[in-house]
Amino acid sequence: MVYHSSFKDESGAGQACGCPLLPLRTPIKGPAPLADPGQFDIIDEAINFFRANVLFRKFEVKSSADKLLIYLTMYINMALKRIETCKSEAEGIKVIINLGLEKFPIPGEPDFPLGGLFTTPGSPQEADLFRNYLKQLREETSGRLMGRVYRPNGSPNKWWLAFAKRRFMNILLPF
């Protein structure tokens, strides 16, 4: 059984490309509303459910927050594939920072892998809002993921890196 997002009530959240702009616990500047410091957010959910959800080839979308969960699961998978070859935490940090700085496609662009899941932006402002939100999500996810992938002594955690070989929903993000 696949794990779905617990963020079902997005009444206060803005929307972009058919996706809620959920609050995040992050110091990174961006369009996401700030969540309370002790509050569980979509990034925590994606990281916690990653190892279970990545084993599935099908994922039924039950809420619009599930779309973000799918996107973040695929991003975590891509990040793990990049980190997999790194021998040290310092090398992994360089790789993950470069991944965060790369330009990535959004809905409506040819290389976007989840075209049927998100709607095409209706205006350039909506496209910018969604790109900036995803950028903020990616940067914060990368930072939190590094704490799981590497142990306090700097050695890689094989229980996380083993999942780099898996394909979520049989889709591989380009990199």
Q: What is the 3-state secondary structure (H, E, C) of 81-101?
A: HHHCCCCCHHHHHHHHHHHHH
Interstrand relation of 19-21 and 14-16 (parallel, antiparallel or unpaired): antiparallel
Predicted TM-score (pTM) of the model is 0.90
pLDDT at 13 > cutoff 50: yes
How deeply is 116 buried, as exposed, middle or buried, from its count of CB atoms within 10 A (0-12, 13-18, 19+)? Answer: exposed
Pick the CATH number of 14-165 from 1.10.1760.10, 1.10.10.60, 3.40.640.10, 3.40.50.1370: 1.10.1760.10
Two tokens, residue 134:
């995803």
E-assigned strands of the chain?
14-16, 19-21
Residue 175: which pLDDT band, with cuts at 50, 70 and 90? very low
Residue 85: which pLDDT band, with cuts at 50, 70 and 90? confident
Where are the chain's structural domains? Answer: 14-165
pLDDT at 95: 92
Specify the long-range contacts of residues 84-92, CB closer than 8 Å, at least 24 apart. 84/161, 84/164, 86/156, 88/154, 89/146, 89/150, 89/154, 89/155, 89/156, 90/154, 92/146, 92/149, 92/150, 92/156
| Mean of all residue pLDDT scores within the chain | 86
Residue 44: which pLDDT band, with cuts at 50, 70 and 90? very high
Residue 10: which pLDDT band, with cuts at 50, 70 and 90? low
What span, in angstroms and rounded, lies between the C-alpha atoms of 129 and 115? 18
Mean pLDDT, range 133-153, rounded to an integer = 91
